Structure 1
Amino acid sequence: MKQSILVINCGSSSLKFAVLSDEGTVTLVEGMADRLNTNQSTITFKHQGQKTQTTLDEGSHKSVVTHIKQWLDQHNDIKRTLVGVGHRVVHGGETFSRSVLINQEVIDGINECAKFAPLHNPAHAKGIEVAFELFPGLPQIAVFDTAFHQTLLPEHYLYPIPMRFYRDHHFRKYGFHGTSYRYISHFFSSIVPNSHRQGVLIAHLGNGASVCAVNNGQSSDTSMGITPLEGLMMGTRSGSVDPSLVAFIGQADNINSEKALSLLNKKSGLLGISELSNDCRTLEEAMLLGDSKAKLALDMFAVRTAKHLASSATTLDKVDHVIFTGGIGENSPYLRDLICSHLRVFNICIDSQLNQNAPRGDVSNISASDSHPQTWIIPTNEELMIALDALQLIR
């Protein structure tokens, strides 16, 4: 009998899910619930090419997982193949350097790390709690976004602040999007067999965005820090700014530091500069119609992405490959071209025709013929990594 894994990705206001079989390569059903904890909560199922959407009377995480359970009860051919549940967890701190089978000690560790991810880890813990309740007897597995970056050296993960803050409170760079980077690194080695012995720069660009340097198959640097706010300019996040801005913003708007940080997380980035949208597609459309603020926002995004790629490259012996992934990285020829133009010092050149005509959802090499570092577009698949980790641990 084929074994399948239910993958659950709980956010503070959304929940993505999928059931993957055949070693994670076949999606039996997938879906998403969004606008949770509001009176507009919905859940969407996609099965055999058909989408169905249902309004949730109660927009809680438990209600969502209950609907998933009810759907599976009505599709016993899928339900009976389930052998486990895999959960994406944003922050594993220094406690978790790999995926683990979940027990009470693991749940306690996830809750302990919630101080670094207060919007995400409590939601993950709630999703795990509900899954244990509704799927009794099925092993549950936690896969951590921070785990891939546990190979960073101290000179890269420590902040230049008094060491007692690290000793007593574990304040350090952790990095995120690790499940995506691990997938890209693993998948890329099947395309370029010697890539695990080469220097690879990966840009995971979406509403949340970061970069990672992969040296000999391991993360050697990444742009996000103790939280996902550090690093690149993003959809609504400012990325790295002078820390004094928190105080200046607080004084200017007469707000406390918590509200100032909320502004940097939720009202800045592409949205803050364009004063229009955090969606790259909307901004590119507006730019083509002559909106100068939309163009400025996109250009700033490109400049900052290139700078962080260049910074991360200092941990590599040489740059052999640059890989774009994530919603923006996979689908925006404009930003790929602009980012690479700012990296010409590394002789990174792309073929404009290949870049413009790269088919969506496919692996593409968009390098110019005279470019030594090869430039790629590779769609990420975090759900596959979660399913594979779950199967390995269960077996």
Structure 2
Amino acid sequence: MRVLTINCGSSTLKFGLFESEGERFLVRGAVDRIGGSGGNVEIYSERGEKTVRPASAGDHIWAALLVMRQLDRCGLLDGVGAVGHRIVHGGARFSGPALLDPAALKGIEALGKLAPLHNRPALAAIRAVREALGPEIPQVAAFDTAFHRTMPHVARLFALPRRFADEGVVRYGFHGLSYEYVVGELRRLDPEAAAGRVVIAHLGNGASMAAVREGVGVDTTMGFTPSGGLVMGTRPGDLDPGVILHLLRSMDPGALRELVNRESGLLGVSGTSADMRDLLERVAEDPRAAEAVALFCYAAKKSLGSLAAALGGLDTLVFTGGIGEHASAVRWRICEGLEFLGIRLDPERNAQNAPVVSRDGEPVAVHVIPADEDLTIARHTYKLARFTSQEGA
């Protein structure tokens, strides 16, 4: 069985085509600048061949259809037996992967208001796949929130009247597919480290950290929605709730929603870009870019310290995500001054983005592990689709 994975961002759609029980990828790629101009569809194969073609996708429906047309032209769509989707918010209802039947779709749609940048585009892609491949091809949802369902009750609570927790207003956490993959990779690379106290920093346009003990999540920086926690590309991270109340005096809720989701974070502080690569290039001559980078790193450093406290110490730190894997300057700034925790980076290893960037013999090993959410989605999709087909037989 071939499994197609689709991972919708706010303006991108990443995809992968896997076989051999979801472990071997045939092609991967992405459609970017969805809803804008100058977009491309990029495809690269397991042999390293890469093609980039101009592509205009007005929305995620068109982006998904574009992907399937490209795969069909390459003769790769035949044999697709299931499609897996990353769904950011699973709320209290979804504790693991789910077959996308009408009831599940309704539940995901109801959660769209909590993750508008992600759940709604994912639903659009699900509908496009059903239109293109037919309803007989099973589709599976893999949820970013599922990994964090093991957090202790106290770590999930907000200090609000209890009726709100009863209504589902609790901390859910996100980036769970990335954390699940990293824990598995760390277990493969260093079983002893994976069994200890680990903080994983998923740093990209969306950014969060998670505390993991013996492979199980115990705390994380994001909460009820993906807007909280660390400073991000366009999201502010943690805010004094009084700031929101103050802004509501002069802004309507729709404008405030745009501010929180699309206009804040690195973009808001710098005034120029949400992309860490752009900001690092401008640090020397642009004080606002320098301040945005400094705030990002400062917030991450504080969160790292708090998660280490929640774990009762730290044995391993893992960086993942686009920034975590490639921005050596950001890793250095986050870790600088944390020698009291046992964190000391090796300058040469860090500059080379080596798999281990800490010095030999230090109490805390610092790893760089590339994220692979698509592979995690493929694994879940293959298992659930195979089980469903066997049950039907």
With the length of structure 2 as denominator, give the TM-score of the two structures: 0.91
Match of 1:33 in 2: 31
Match of 2:195 in 1: 197
Aligned counterparts of 1:275 and 1:74: Cα–Cα separation in 2: 42
Match of 2:74 in 1: 75
- Between the aligned residues of both structures, percent identity stands at 36
Aligned counterparts of 2:128 and 2:337: Cα–Cα separation in 1: 47
Post-superposition CA distance 1:1-21 (Å, at most 9, x none): xx3210011234332212123
Match of 1:171 in 2: 169
The counterpart of 1:379, out of the listed 370, 375, 380, is: 370
The structure-2 alpha-carbon separation of the partners of 1:249 and 1:147, relative to structure 1 and needing over 3 Å to count, comes to same
Determine helix, strand or coil for the equivalent of 2:187.
helix
The answer to whether the aligner puts 1:66 opposite 2:57 as a matched pair is no
The structure-2 alpha-carbon separation of the partners of 1:158 and 1:53, relative to structure 1 and needing over 3 Å to count, comes to same
Post-superposition CA distance 1:76-126 (Å, at most 9, x none): 3x3333221111101100111111222112111111222312332222222
Match of 2:291 in 1: 296
The answer to whether the aligner puts 1:284 opposite 2:275 as a matched pair is no
Aligned counterparts of 1:4 and 1:244: Cα–Cα separation in 2: 50
Query: Are the equivalent residues in 1 in contact too, given 2:87–2:142 (CA < 8 A)?
Result: yes
Match of 1:145 in 2: 144
Deviation at residue 26 of structure 1 after TM alignment: 3.5
1:207 aligned partner, one-letter code: N
Segments of 5+ residues of structure 1 without an aligned counterpart are none
Query: Are the equivalent residues in 1 in contact too, given 2:96–2:146 (CA < 8 A)?
Result: yes
Alignment map for 1:240-389 (pairs within 5 Å): 240-251=238-249, 254-287=250-283, 289-359=284-354, 364-389=355-380
Count of aligned positions: 383
Aligned counterparts of 1:170 and 1:43: Cα–Cα separation in 2: 38
The structure-2 alpha-carbon separation of the partners of 1:342 and 1:297, relative to structure 1 and needing over 3 Å to count, comes to farther
Aligned counterparts of 1:234 and 1:342: Cα–Cα separation in 2: 22
Determine helix, strand or coil for the equivalent of 2:201.
strand
The structure-2 alpha-carbon separation of the partners of 1:42 and 1:112, relative to structure 1 and needing over 3 Å to count, comes to same
Segments of 5+ residues of structure 2 without an aligned counterpart are 387-393
Aligned counterparts of 1:236 and 1:72: Cα–Cα separation in 2: 32
Report the more deviating stretch, 24-33 or 198-207. 24-33
Determine helix, strand or coil for the equivalent of 1:36.
coil
Deviation at residue 243 of structure 1 after TM alignment: 1.1
Aligned counterparts of 1:297 and 1:186: Cα–Cα separation in 2: 33
Aligned counterparts of 2:52 and 2:37: Cα–Cα separation in 1: 19
Query: Are the equivalent residues in 2 in contact too, given 1:43–1:54 (CA < 8 A)?
Result: yes
The counterpart of 1:390, out of the listed 359, 378, 381, is: 381
Determine helix, strand or coil for the equivalent of 1:358.
coil
Query: Are the equivalent residues in 2 in contact too, given 1:173–1:225 (CA < 8 A)?
Result: yes
Report the more deviating stretch, 232-241 or 35-44. 35-44
Deviation at residue 134 of structure 1 after TM alignment: 1.6
With the length of structure 1 as denominator, give the TM-score of the two structures: 0.91
The structure-2 alpha-carbon separation of the partners of 1:64 and 1:285, relative to structure 1 and needing over 3 Å to count, comes to closer
Deviation at residue 267 of structure 1 after TM alignment: 2.1
Determine helix, strand or coil for the equivalent of 1:239.
coil
RMSD: 2.0
1:273 aligned partner, one-letter code: V
The structure-2 alpha-carbon separation of the partners of 1:337 and 1:123, relative to structure 1 and needing over 3 Å to count, comes to same
The structure-2 alpha-carbon separation of the partners of 1:271 and 1:317, relative to structure 1 and needing over 3 Å to count, comes to same
The answer to whether the aligner puts 1:21 opposite 2:19 as a matched pair is yes
Aligned counterparts of 2:10 and 2:323: Cα–Cα separation in 1: 22
Post-superposition CA distance 1:339-368 (Å, at most 9, x none): 111422212111111111225xxxx11112
Match of 2:5 in 1: 7
Post-superposition CA distance 1:187-228 (Å, at most 9, x none): 110001123421110000011110000111111000011111
Determine helix, strand or coil for the equivalent of 1:68.
helix
Query: Are the equivalent residues in 1 in contact too, given 2:23–2:378 (CA < 8 A)?
Result: no
Query: Are the equivalent residues in 2 in contact too, given 1:41–1:59 (CA < 8 A)?
Result: no
Aligned counterparts of 1:250 and 1:162: Cα–Cα separation in 2: 22
Aligned counterparts of 1:384 and 1:234: Cα–Cα separation in 2: 24
Match of 1:129 in 2: 127
Post-superposition CA distance 1:267-299 (Å, at most 9, x none): 222222222222111111111x33332222212
Determine helix, strand or coil for the equivalent of 2:111.
helix
Aligned counterparts of 1:291 and 1:37: Cα–Cα separation in 2: 29
The structure-2 alpha-carbon separation of the partners of 1:37 and 1:234, relative to structure 1 and needing over 3 Å to count, comes to closer
Query: Are the equivalent residues in 1 in contact too, given 2:158–2:170 (CA < 8 A)?
Result: yes
Determine helix, strand or coil for the equivalent of 1:211.
strand
The structure-2 alpha-carbon separation of the partners of 1:39 and 1:328, relative to structure 1 and needing over 3 Å to count, comes to closer
Aligned counterparts of 2:139 and 2:276: Cα–Cα separation in 1: 36
The structure-2 alpha-carbon separation of the partners of 1:280 and 1:119, relative to structure 1 and needing over 3 Å to count, comes to closer
Query: Are the equivalent residues in 2 in contact too, given 1:306–1:342 (CA < 8 A)?
Result: no
The counterpart of 1:181, out of the listed 161, 179, 182, is: 179
Aligned counterparts of 1:19 and 1:271: Cα–Cα separation in 2: 33
Post-superposition CA distance 1:132-161 (Å, at most 9, x none): 222222221110011101111111111101
Aligned counterparts of 1:266 and 1:12: Cα–Cα separation in 2: 9
1:382 aligned partner, one-letter code: E
The answer to whether the aligner puts 1:227 opposite 2:233 as a matched pair is no
